[in-house]
């Protein structure tokens, strides 16, 4: 399946709590790219998925945060500066959305791109160029550190290696983020959460956002080992939650690496099935981090391979059904506004 629209259409749900304001804190946009979810994924595609282009209802997505997509990099210039092009691209998308012509969702109100933190202090020049490219929207950097020796696990384009979070040079680069009040977006496997906690303790002034609920794996060497994976994941989450400078993103649990194999089924999962399969991770993360240090994310269009946008957010809302209005406001919107310094 490429865009699998007909498959996703086999499960339709009405949006629960449609009035609840949401900031989708993690989605991607790109031009031409060889990705199974979408070869091209730009503003109209995303708005069509969330249901506001045209305005067809669905969930109340008032704003979003664009995440590192390896999109529209500069063709020329120093290698370390090429990703400034992605910030320029995302800022242009944000300007289109802010015009109101495409609806009321402020897409890419916050921008997180990639810069090579292994450059150490030298990455400061790259960060300054990114701030200059989008002074009102650029908010941080993701440098993925997902790594395992097993060849059955995917290798990220950022070329991570074992122990990267512990390296002095990488930490010196991350310190440049802290100096500028920027966020470090962390993407690692559940086996690396202890290293991430060590990293967080070493840089207490750095705001760290853990992507995709800490990356519990279910493929390759971890296939069929859910109890073992969950035990190690809980240990890592407990350690991270003890670090006051760490916030967790609630989502990203339906990618192929999770091992649910949703994409092989005759029909996509319902929101109830998502709760049964993945709700534990959300409940546990919220319990440990509290409602003031969690944010929901769609991880679209990557999670498009597993579920449509409305059932995905219904899954989240079923997990938080018994939460107070204040807790929901924090988890779905207010925490994102605070952490990414978005317009209220």
Q: What is the pLDDT of residues 71-101, one digit of tens each?
A: 999 999 999 999 999 999 999 999 999 999 9
Q: Is a pLDDT exceeding 60 seen at residue 181? A: yes
Both tokens assigned to 300: 């679209």
In a domain, 220, yes or no: yes
Written as one string, the DSSP assignment of 183-238 is: EEEE---GGGHHHHHHHHHH-TTSEEEEGGGG----SGGGTT-HHHHHHHHHHHHH
* 93 within a domain of the structure (yes/no): yes
Query: Do 27 and 64 contact (CB within 8 A), yes or no?
Result: yes
**CATH number where 26 lies:** 3.20.20.140
Q: Is 33 a member of any domain?
A: yes
Measured in whole angstroms, the distance separating CA 318 from the mean position of its chain's CA atoms is 20
| CA atoms within a 13 Å half-sphere pointing along the CA-CB vector of 128 | 6
Residue 54 has pLDDT above 50, yes or no: no
Interval 243-267: pLDDT, tens: 999 999 999 999 999 999 999 999 9
Full residue range of the structural domain in which residue 247 is found: 5-339
The two structure tokens encoding residue 228: 């073992």
User: What Å distances lie between residue 333 and 60, 122, 185, 214, 330, CA to CA?
Assistant: 11, 34, 18, 20, 6
Q: Considering the domain boundaries, does residue 208 fall inside one?
A: yes
Is 103 inside a domain boundary?
yes
Asked if pLDDT for residue 2 goes beyond 60, the answer is no
Q: Is residue 88 part of a domain?
A: yes
Asked whether residue 344 is domain-assigned, the answer is no
- Across 227-245, average pLDDT: 98
For the beta carbon of residue 109, count every other beta carbon within 10 angstroms.
24
The answer on pLDDT for 1 being more than 50 is no
Domains in the chain: how many in total?
1
Establish if 89 belongs to a structural domain. yes
- Cα–Cα distance for residue pair 167/195, rounded to 1 Å: 11
110-162 pLDDT, tens digit per residue, is 999 999 999 999 999 999 999 999 999 999 999 999 999 999 998 888 888 99
Task: Specify the pTM.
Answer: 0.96
Residue pair 237/284 in contact (Cβ under 8 Å)? The answer is yes
* Exposed/middle/buried for residue 325 (C-beta within 10 Å: 0-12, 13-18, 19+): exposed
């Amino acid at each position: 399946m490429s865009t699998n629209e007909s498959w996703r259409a086999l499960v339709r749900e009405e949006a629960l709590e449609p009035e609840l304001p949401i900031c989708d804190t993690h989605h991607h946009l790109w031009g031409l790219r060889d990705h199974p979810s979408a070869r091209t994924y730009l503003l109209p595609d995303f708005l069509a998925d969330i249901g506001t282009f045209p305005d067809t209802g669905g969930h109340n997505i008032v704003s979003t945060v664009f995440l590192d997509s390896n999109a529209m990099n500069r063709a020329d210039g120093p290698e370390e500066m090429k990703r400034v092009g992605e910030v320029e691209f995302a800022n242009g998308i944000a300007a289109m959305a802010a015009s109101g012509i495409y609806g009321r969702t402020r897409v890419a109100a916050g921008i997180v791109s990639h810069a090579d933190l292994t450059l150490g202090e030298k990455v400061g020049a790259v960060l300054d160029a990114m701030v200059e490219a989008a002074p009102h929207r650029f908010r941080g950097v993701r440098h993925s550190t997902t790594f395992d020796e097993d060849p059955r696990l995917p290798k990220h384009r950022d070329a991570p290696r074992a122990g990267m979070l512990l390296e002095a040079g990488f930490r010196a680069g991350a310190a440049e983020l802290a100096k500028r009040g920027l966020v470090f977006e962390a993407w690692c496997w559940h086996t690396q959460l202890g290293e991430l906690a060590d990293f967080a303790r070493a840089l207490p002034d750095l705001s760290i956002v853990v992507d995709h609920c800490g990356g519990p794996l279910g493929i390759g060497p971890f296939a069929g080992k859910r109890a073992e994976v969950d035990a190690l994941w809980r240990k890592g989450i407990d350690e991270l939650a003890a670090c006051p400078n760490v916030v967790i993103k609630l989502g990203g649990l339906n990618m192929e690496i999770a091992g649910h194999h949703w994409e092989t089924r005759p029909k996509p999962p319902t929101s109830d099935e998502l709760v049964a399969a993945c709700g534990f991770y959300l409940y546990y993360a919220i319990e440990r981090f509290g409602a003031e240090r969690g944010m929901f994310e769609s991880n679209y269009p990557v999670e498009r391979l597993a579920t449509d946008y409305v059932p995905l957010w219904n899954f989240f809302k079923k997990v938080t059904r018994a939460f107070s209005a204040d807790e929901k406001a924090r988890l779905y919107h207010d925490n994102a506004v605070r952490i990414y310094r978005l317009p209220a």
